[in-house]
Amino acid sequence: MAWQDRRTLAVLPPAGILALVLLAGYAGSLEARWYLFLGVPIAATQYLYGAAPAGALTIVLAALTLRIFGRDPVLAPVLPLFLAAVWGAAIFIMRTFHEQVFKLRLAGEEDLATASDVAKALEKERERINASRQRIEKIHMLTNLAHDLSSSLDIRSVVTTTLVRTRELTGQTGEARLVQFDADGVRSWRSQDGGAAMGREEADPLVLWVKKRALPLIVTDLPRDLRFREAEGELPSLRSMIGAPLFQGTSVIGVLQVASAQPDAFNPEDLRLLSLLGDLTSVAVQNAELYARTQEEAITDGLTGVFVHRYFQERLVEEMKRARAQGASLTLIMVDIDNFKRVNDEYGHLTGDGVLKRISQVMKDGVRGTDLVARYGGEEFAVLLVETELEPAHQVAERLRAGVEALVPGELKIHQPVTVSMGLASFPGHAADERALIERADECLYSAKRGGKNRVVVAGAG
C-alpha cells in the first residue's frame, strides 16, 4: 500500500470509529448497531487496500441504509446479505483499482529509471564523441606541425612554429619555452608576441631534471612537489608545468616546456602530446642547425673563419641597395698584409696560416656585428662598414691597423713585426656602384703600399 494511504490510515480510523458510534446511536436499535459494526472490519479492509475515502463512504451508506430500511420487516432480514455483497464488491473493485494504480506507478518509475539511464548513456556518448573530436583535431594539428617543421630550415622559424603550436595543443596561454644545450651553456627560446626570443641563461632545476633522467616531466603544483623541495630558492615562479626531452640519438640536446600560473593545468594526455611534439621538434631543430652549419661553411673561409669572397660580393650588392634606399653611407676598407710572402718563405706555410688566423681575429674583434669581414684573396681582406661615413670609418681602420701592429711576433712564431696597409673609399662620396667602390678602395690600398706600408690611405685625401 502507498505510503500516503498509510498516513491516511493514521488519521481516519479514530475519526471513523467515532462516526460509527455516533451513527449507531442515531440508528436507534440493537439490530442496526449490529449491522453497522459488522461493516467496521470490511471498511478497515478497504482502508488497507488504499481506499480510505471509499471505506468511509461505505460506512455512511450502510448507516443510512440501516436507518431507512432497518425496521422494515421484509427488507431487514436480507440487508446483511445486501450490505455484505456491496462491501465485497467495493473491496474487489478497489483492490483491482489499487493493483492497477500500483502497476502503473511501478511502470512509470521504471520508465523514469530507463529514461535516466538513457540520458546518462547519451551524455557519456556525447563526452566520448567530444573527446574523439578533440583527439582528431590534435592529430590534425600535429600533422600540420610536422609539415610546417619539415618545410622550414630556419632555426628561428622552426622554434617559433613549435612554441605557438605547443600552446595551441595544450590549450594554455602561459609561457612555452624551448631550451637547447650547447658548448657555451644554455640557449633559451621563449614565446613572445607570436614569435620567439632567444637568450642565454642558467638551466633551472626542472629543466635539469628532464635532462638528467631523459624523461618527460609533469608538475601539478610546484610548491608542493617534494621532488624539488631542496631547490626551492632556484625554482621559477610557476605552479604547474610539463616538459619533454629533445633527443639526438640517446643524448638530450634540449627540453620543450610549457608552464602555467595555475595548479593542475596539465594532464597525462598533454604530456603525451608534448612528447610527440618534442620528437618532431628535435628532428626539425637538428635539420635547421645542420643546414645553418652547411650554409655557414659555404660562405666562411675554412682557415680564417671570416666570410669568403663570393659572399662578400653578394652582401656588397645588398648593402649598396639598402644604402641607396635609405640615403645612408657605406665604407669599404681593403686590407693587405705587408711582406706576407716573406713570412711564408722564411717560416713556412703553417706559420703563415697562423698569422692569417690571428690577423683575421683582430679584424673580426674590431668591428660591429652588423659589419662584414671577408677574405678577398690570399693575404688580402675586405672590411665592409655599413651605415658608416668616411671619418668614423677612418678611425676604425686606424684602430685595426694598430691592433695588427701590436701583435707580438714571438706569439706568431716569427721574428719580425707584422703590419697591414689599408685603403678606404665610401659610397656615395667616392663611387656610385659596387665595382667603382672596390676600384677606389684598391687604388688607395696600392697608394698605402707605395707610400711605405703600415698605413691607411683614404680616397680623395690630399
Per-residue pLDDT at 108: 72
Bond preceding residue 73 cis, omega within 30 of 0: no
What does the alpha-carbon distance between residue 319 and residue 313 come to, in Å, rounded to a whole number?
10
- Using CA atoms, how far residue 240 sits from 136, 164, 166, 172, 237, in Å, is 26, 19, 15, 11, 10
What does the alpha-carbon distance between residue 322 and residue 341 come to, in Å, rounded to a whole number?
38
What does the alpha-carbon distance between residue 461 and residue 283 come to, in Å, rounded to a whole number?
56
As given in the structure block, the three cell numbers for residue 309 are 669572397
Per-residue pLDDT at 12: 45
Per-residue pLDDT at 223: 86
Domains (range + CATH), the chain: 3-110 (no CATH), 157-296 (3.30.450.40), 309-458 (3.30.70.270)
Spans of the chain, pLDDT less than 70: 1-92, 94-95, 97-98, 134-135, 138, 142, 172-174, 194, 461-462
- Provide the sign of the torsion angle of the four alpha carbons 189, 370, 314, 311, taken in this order: negative
What does the alpha-carbon distance between residue 206 and residue 175 come to, in Å, rounded to a whole number?
15
What does the alpha-carbon distance between residue 444 and residue 442 come to, in Å, rounded to a whole number?
5
Torsion angle (degrees, nearest 10) of CA 125, 127, 128, 134: 150
Amino acid at site 80? P
Per-residue pLDDT at 81: 61
Q: b/e string for 278-316 if b means 16 or more Cβ within 10 A?
A: bbbbbbbbbbbbeeeeeeeeebbbeebebbbeebbeebb
- Using CA atoms, how far residue 248 sits from 79, 110, 245, 255, in Å, is 108, 62, 10, 12
With CA atoms as reference, report the closest residue to 417 among 304, 333, 338: 338
What does the alpha-carbon distance between residue 368 and residue 383 come to, in Å, rounded to a whole number?
11
Per-residue pLDDT at 14: 45
Q: Which residues contact 436 (CB under 8 A, 6 or more apart)?
A: 430
